[in-house]
A and B are shown apart, each in its own frame.
Chain A
Amino acid sequence: MVYGVAIFQTPMIAFHQALWLVRKDLSLHLRSKNVLALVFIFSLLVVLVFNFAFGPTPLPAEDQGRLTASVLWTAFSFAGIITLTRSIEIDRAYGGLDAVRLTGTAPSLIYLSKVVSNVIWLTLIQAAITPVALLFLEALDQVSWLSLLKLIVVLAMGTIGFCAVGVILATMSVRAGGESLLTVILFPLIFPVIMAGAKCTVSILTTSTIGNRFWISLLVTYSLVFLSCSYLLFEFVIEG
């Protein structure tokens, strides 16, 4: 084989492998409808609990923005934990991960495809839940289509950071305590994501702008740092 061809072929093979893995994960997500229902209902329940706690009296615009941001990020953090755990559990329970490894796929590629599939899936869930949550929080009328789009983009960026750390920790925790362990070990690590995401959300809901650009830079930096770090470390998690 000509070396040049091999050089060009390897990234292409890797790309195709990753694509197939993402398709496999997404079809697994689609087939597990009980998890989808669980995540959707769970997020709605969080919205209702917060709503009852803050009472029927309307809050000032700034406080309403803060409340909505807290509700959305609380709901999505826990929904993310359920989704990530189930996504890894399904693979592990039926030997899917071992089978994929037997094909010779690089562990880092398995990691990347898991992140991509979970980010796509969680973003779709968030895009479906956000308008419903805003409706219940009486904030839907104050938000324009453009602001809603900005909100979903911010949520998706937060989800990338969340999944960058979440996938590697969920792979470790499914072998031990499952969701409860993942909650304890993941939350202290994703505080910067929640902090930045919530700040951007408040700003979008109250002023229709992203606000301080630092928070968006933080989301990007966090995602890049942990994607690269976990890309290198995933191999050690799934060996043996």
Chain B
Amino acid sequence: MPVATALYVVTPIALFAALYSVFGYAEYEGTMLEVQKIFYFHVSSAFTAFTAFAVTCICSIAYLVKRCVKYDLVAAKSAELGLVFCTIVLTTGPIWARSSWNTWWNWEPRLTSTLILCLTYVGYFILRTSVSTEQKERFASVFGIVAFLNVPIVYYSVKIWQTGGLHPPTTTRSHLAESMKHAWLVSWLALTLIYASLLKLNIGFSWAQYRLNKLQARTYSN
């Protein structure tokens, strides 16, 4: 419990620190000005979504090995949050693309991979809601593992597909100024903490719901 309390206290502080570092500390980019500020939340959301799906994969493996419902709950809730962060990436990405390249969508590899990732995990939830309780956990765990294995393959293939050769252009990460790098790291930390807090809260609710359902089923069967 103290760990959870600490998490709930630190998260808002980190969020305010991120807002300050993005809007008050980091310098403005020369050509894009304010629009460049999207970068800090866009990239951090992508990293957080990736972390969330990694947690889903690990918990899916743990469920198949241990057969403990709690692992499946964590996997499902983490995938849910991963989808939320994917939606942030897919919303901020086109805004960035419109300002930067004068188009809402230009099949940029990372954005395209995120779209495919998002569709994959929508499939994860469709599968979960389509099958009965006992099978749901097993099937979702298998899908959670297979889906995560596909992430690097999709990313790499989209990258080559978009650039058309084996030598894609280098990223602009090295061009970031020091203050921008610091602001990005703080934003990333803040979003990861938000993810951890929401996950903790969600697991608590779901576990209570699960136990209530069990209790109700037992009461009615008696």
**Do these two chains really belong together in a complex?**
yes
| Interface size bracket, A side | 20 to 34
Residue interface mask A165-178, B partner, CB < 8 A = 1: 10011001101110
* Given A240-B134, A240-B135, A192 contacting B153 (CB threshold 8 A): yes
26 contacts between A and B (CB under 8 A): A172-B135, A172-B142, A177-B126, A181-B127, A181-B130, A184-B122, A184-B126, A188-B120, A188-B123, A189-B120, A191-B157, A192-B150, A192-B154, A192-B157, A195-B158, A195-B161, A196-B157, A212-B166, A214-B166, A222-B153, A225-B153, A226-B149, A229-B146, A233-B142, A239-B138, A240-B138
A-B contact number at CB 8 A: 87
* Given A188-B119, A218-B157, A237 contacting B127 (CB threshold 8 A): no
Those of B134-157 within 8 Å (CB) of chain A: 134-135, 138-139, 141-143, 145-147, 149-150, 153-154, 157
Main secondary structure of the interface of B (DSSP, over half): helix
Residue interface mask A27-50, B partner, CB < 8 A = 1: 000000000000000000000000
Bound state CA distance, A185 and B120, in angstroms?
7
List of B residues within 8 angstroms of A191 by Cβ: 116, 154, 157
Q: Are B157 and A195 in contact (CB under 8 A)?
A: yes
Pick the contact of B146 from A173, A181, A189, A192 — CB < 8 Å?
Answer: A189
List of A residues within 8 angstroms of B142 by Cβ: 168, 172, 233, 236-237
Bound state CA distance, A160 and B147, in angstroms?
18
18 more CB-based (< 8 A) A-B contacts, given A177-B130, A188-B123, A237-B142 = A172-B139, A173-B127, A175-B131, A176-B131, A187-B119, A189-B123, A189-B146, A191-B157, A192-B157, A195-B158, A212-B160, A212-B165, A218-B153, A226-B149, A229-B149, A233-B64, A237-B139, A240-B134
Q: Are B146 and A236 in contact (CB under 8 A)?
A: no
Give the one of B120, B124, B146, B160 with max A CB within 10 A: B146
List of A residues within 8 angstroms of B127 by Cβ: 172-173, 176, 181, 185
* Given A226-B146, A230-B146, A236 contacting B153 (CB threshold 8 A): no
Which residues of B pack against A, CB within 8 Å?
64, 116, 119-120, 122-124, 126-127, 130-131, 134-135, 138-139, 141-143, 145-147, 149-150, 153-154, 157-158, 160-161, 165-166
Bound state CA distance, A218 and B159, in angstroms?
12
Bound state CA distance, A214 and B166, in angstroms?
8
Residue of A nearest to B117 (CB): A188
* Given A184-B123, A189-B120, A175 contacting B135 (CB threshold 8 A): yes
Q: Are A199 and B139 in contact (CB under 8 A)?
A: no
Bound state CA distance, A180 and B221, in angstroms?
35
